[in-house]
Structure 1
Amino acid sequence: MTIPSTMRRWVLGALAATGVAAAVPAMAEDFPDKPVTVTIPFSAGGSHDVNARIFTSILPSYLGQPVVIKLTPGAGGQAGTAAAIKAPADGYSMLFTHSLVDQLQPLVANLPYDTTAALTTVARINTAPAIFYVLADSPWQTIDDLVTYAKENPGELRYAHSGKWGTGFTGGAAVADHYGIEMTYLPYKGGGPMKLAVLSGDADFTLGRPGTIGAEIEAGKVRALLVGADERLPELPDTPTTTELGMPTEAIVMQRIVQVPSDLPEDRMQVLRTAFRELQEDKTYLRMMSQMGENVEYMDGPDYEKLRRQQAESYSALVQALTGQ
């Protein structure tokens, strides 16, 4: 049985008073006893940054220590991933990443690491549908308008993405492949810079996640043309989904996950997993996620690990479809 992290210190004190503390070696370590760092391999202002600022503000209540965010953007998530893999396997360093970086990038890039072997999942935080959008004063009212323009002007539509084979890239590539259009791909270091590129007019088209672009849609600054999901979003009831239009969602819907080096001791892994599990019952956490338009489709680490192995097969088929190889 795993004793909830919030009770750990109290129980240790009680056991010490009775002289039996030595009988619980997994607890005697009192992990964690210093701040825990969450590395995000993307830039400030993106959906991972937004989600992390919510859960890291509440997680200390369940870990008993501060949780610090470290942004390490670059190479579509590869820079931060490499740094997290090199970190000591002591539980004080976690990686907040997503399924495409974890299981798709290794299929298309010559990486100096093997994510499947090097990392193990603590928990899936949620899933993230995509919203494809343009400036509100753009001439494109619908996705069909955008596609018509792209077909009449090959290569002139400028698409902002987060680095080749990052989630921003694969989402746009899936749309382009489905409609048979050519776009100019402009790389940026994450969702925040991608959004700024569209708002400033440096790019015509990109995708975002509900927690990062919802405010701009509500304020009338941008127009949503397409939602990457199986079902329409309640806040965008008139915007069609990729599933409705016959597009696969694997390249578009990402799964946000927290991972640690695979050789983390099991007792420390259980402390982290218990904290994230307890977080799912926290009313403040649930309210803040709802306010940001984010779901809480949580999954325990062991369950996600089973899904993780299946992803490699579906992503392999996706890469073949996009590259012809």
Structure 2
Amino acid sequence: MSINRRQLMTGVASGLAVSALPSLAHAADWPTKPVRIIVPYAAGGSADAVSRIFGQRLSQRIGQPVVVENRPGAGTIVGTDYASKQPPDGHTLVFSASGLPILPSSNKNFKLDLNKDLTPISEVVRGGFVVVSNPSMPFRTLPEMIAYAKRNPGKLSYGAAGLGTSVQLTGEYLKALTGTFMLCIPYAGSAPALAAVLSNEVNLFIDPVNTIKPHVESGRLVGLVQTSKQRSPSLPQVPTSAEVGMPNFDVTYWMGFHAPGGMAPDLARTISGHFAAIAQEPETRDRLIGMGFEIAGTTPEAFGKLVNDDQKRWAKLIQDAKLSFN
């Protein structure tokens, strides 16, 4: 059979076009080597602990080592940026938390597009914040605190674990919803901010349940409200925002995992399925609930929507409140 010149050139061009397409790793090809989980936080904190719990079980499920690699720095930018530049073949994952969708609006050094440079895998745990006060303050409920703040504009202060963090923006959101003015005092982390409210250096503090619990139970802090839809089993004596008449003050923090952008959807769903199954294992559930978390375990699509919704909400708040962090 003869082939004319036009047919030959068409075949060559088609071959070149196919070879130019990126080679995506799919679920059937994964894993072929050890998997890394990049944690953009220092070792020893809750992010590190959650990553190691899931990493250990993932390793047992897939028959490959899973190595947790801490790469802190620049408010999680160092580790997240590094992970985004790795091949999207499932052998590099990155721990992410509810501060991630704040970064595009709060930090000029964050250059990633969350929809293009990262692939959502799964939200694995979540929880609400608790607003607490020093017991020397003349209020014991959130409505009483709001009334006091309106009578004394600028007199109340709240401690935040850094500028541009989810806890700071939760405080700003509370101010916006209630029409009150409270001074934000940023600290270099949760521990010094907690110490400040315990000593009444600041009047209020906002942090996850697991940090707050022992101090509310001992009476050293007063629990005013939980920002989740349901009361945490770890702190059942503190009402939710809906119970005190503020259903819009619904703010949760979350932890999960992303992968580099461009991952094949079937591979993302496979890895997500492993994380969801791990989250439901009785031993894992008990450990995570004991740490004060609620169990999640979502699909890539649901996790991606959560991140996008959070990014829009915090961007609007930062713009409306004219907040500056740099």
Structure 1: stretches of 5+ with no match in the other structure:
1-24
Matched residue of 2:239: which SS?
coil
Indicate the residue corresponding to 1:129 in structure 2: 128
Relative to structure 1, the CA distance from residue 192 to residue 298 in structure 2 (aligned partners, 3 Å threshold; closer, same or farther) is farther
| Distance across 1 between alignment mates of 2:278 and 2:177 | 39
Q: How far did residue 288 of structure 1 move?
A: 0.9
**Counterpart mapping for 1:41-56 below 5 A:** 41=41, 45=45, 47-56=46-55
- Given that residues 230 and 241 in structure 1 are in contact (C-alpha distance below 8 angstroms), is that contact kept between their aligned partners in structure 2? yes
Indicate the residue corresponding to 1:275 in structure 2: 274
Relative to structure 1, the CA distance from residue 225 to residue 292 in structure 2 (aligned partners, 3 Å threshold; closer, same or farther) is same
Indicate the residue corresponding to 2:36 in structure 1: 36
**Counterpart mapping for 1:1-12 below 5 A:** none
Indicate the residue corresponding to 1:12 in structure 2: none
Indicate the residue corresponding to 2:68 in structure 1: 68
**Amino acid paired to 1:31:** P
Matched residue of 1:72: which SS?
coil
**Counterpart mapping for 1:1-325 below 5 A:** 31=31, 33-34=33-34, 36-41=36-41, 45=45, 47-63=46-62, 64-68=64-68, 70=70, 72-75=72-75, 77-102=76-101, 104-110=102-108, 111-136=110-135, 139-199=138-198, 201-243=200-242, 244-246=244-246, 248-249=248-249, 252-264=251-263, 269=268, 272-319=271-318, 321-323=320-322
Indicate the residue corresponding to 1:22 in structure 2: none
| Distance across 1 between alignment mates of 2:213 and 2:141 | 18
Aligned length in residues:
296
Relative to structure 1, the CA distance from residue 319 to residue 264 in structure 2 (aligned partners, 3 Å threshold; closer, same or farther) is same
Relative to structure 1, the CA distance from residue 184 to residue 295 in structure 2 (aligned partners, 3 Å threshold; closer, same or farther) is same
Superimposed CA distance per residue, residues 179-209 of structure 1 (whole angstroms, 9 cap, x where no aligned partner): 3332222223444443344345543322121
Structure with greater Cα Rg: 2
Q: How far did residue 148 of structure 1 move?
A: 4.6
* TM-score (normalised: structure 2): 0.74
| Distance across 1 between alignment mates of 2:262 and 2:190 | 31
Superimposed CA distance per residue, residues 42-87 of structure 1 (whole angstroms, 9 cap, x where no aligned partner): 7854x53454354344333224314425262544x44443343345
**Amino acid paired to 1:245:** G
Superimposed CA distance per residue, residues 272-322 of structure 1 (whole angstroms, 9 cap, x where no aligned partner): 334313313322101112222311122111332244444555445544554
Superimposed CA distance per residue, residues 149-169 of structure 1 (whole angstroms, 9 cap, x where no aligned partner): 544554343322233332111
The structure with the greater share of residues assigned to helix is 1
- Given that residues 94 and 260 in structure 1 are in contact (C-alpha distance below 8 angstroms), is that contact kept between their aligned partners in structure 2? yes
| Distance across 1 between alignment mates of 2:32 and 2:132 | 42
Superimposed CA distance per residue, residues 84-105 of structure 1 (whole angstroms, 9 cap, x where no aligned partner): 3345545443222234522x43
| Distance across 2 between alignment mates of 1:177 and 1:34 | 47
| Distance across 2 between alignment mates of 1:213 and 1:96 | 23
- Given that residues 26 and 89 in structure 2 are in contact (C-alpha distance below 8 angstroms), is that contact kept between their aligned partners in structure 1? no
Structure 2: stretches of 5+ with no match in the other structure:
1-24
Matched residue of 2:116: which SS?
helix
| Distance across 2 between alignment mates of 1:278 and 1:108 | 34
Relative to structure 1, the CA distance from residue 200 to residue 65 in structure 2 (aligned partners, 3 Å threshold; closer, same or farther) is farther
| Distance across 2 between alignment mates of 1:318 and 1:258 | 25
Superimposed CA distance per residue, residues 244-297 of structure 1 (whole angstroms, 9 cap, x where no aligned partner): 4335246x2133221111134667645533431331332210111222231112
The percent identity for this pair of structures is 22
**Amino acid paired to 2:252:** V
**Amino acid paired to 1:105:** L
* TM-score (normalised: structure 1): 0.74
Q: How far did residue 128 of structure 1 move?
A: 1.9
